[in-house]
Amino acid sequence: MKSVIITLLICLTGTLSSFAQCEENAVLSTSKTNLADPSGNPTGVKDEKTILRFSKTAVLLNIDGVDRGELKIVSQTCKWTTPFKEGKSVINAIMNDSDYTLTIEGKDGKVSLHVVKNLSDDSILTMTADKFEKTN
């Protein structure tokens, strides 16, 4: 009986930590942005330092040292087996009356960010994170 309780506690702790990441403040930084058309065809690359600061309610965007705005989080899902390394988050957010979907995915030791402006013909942005970690 004791081993069953311990096993359940271990499983519960792992499950809670995978969802707790959505409750953590985090920073994701990149040095290159890949651009694609709405069909996903590559259209270019921008060498720029992008920093996204995540809280429970917003994502602050800074590009090349200039604050570019705040995305207000409407909803998010989180499933990380190893926090900030292996897993996936999908964030739906609004900035300047436009809807965005941000997908952060960690796989095989790489974390990527995919940004789509919903209901738009704007470019799709894809970035590989140089750093993705918890902040205070």
Those residues with Cβ within 8 angstroms of residue 62's Cβ, 6 or more apart along the chain or in another chain: 50, 51, 52, 53, 68
Q: Is 56 left (phi over 0), alpha (psi -120 to 50) or beta?
A: alpha
Contacts for 33 with CB less than 8 Å, ≥ 6 apart: 45, 46, 48, 50, 125, 126, 127
CA distance 73 to 78: 13
Domain ranges of the chain: 2-134
Report the predicted TM-score, pTM, of the whole model to 2 decimal places. Answer: 0.82
d(C-alpha 80, C-alpha 86), whole Å: 6
Token pair for 68: 């570019």
**Domain 2-134, classified CATH 2.40.128, yes or no:** yes
Task: Supply the pLDDT for residue 119.
Answer: 86
Question: Would you give per-residue pLDDT tens digits along the chain (136 residues)?
Answer: 444 344 333 433 443 344 456 788 999 999 999 999 888 899 999 999 999 999 999 999 999 999 999 999 999 999 999 988 999 999 999 999 999 999 999 999 899 999 999 988 788 999 999 999 999 8
How confident is the model at residue 13, as a pLDDT? Answer: 40
Q: Of 19, 28, 39, 55, give the one whose Cα is nearest residue 112.
A: 28
- Position 17 scores a pLDDT of 40
- Please report the pLDDT score of residue 18 as a whole number: 42
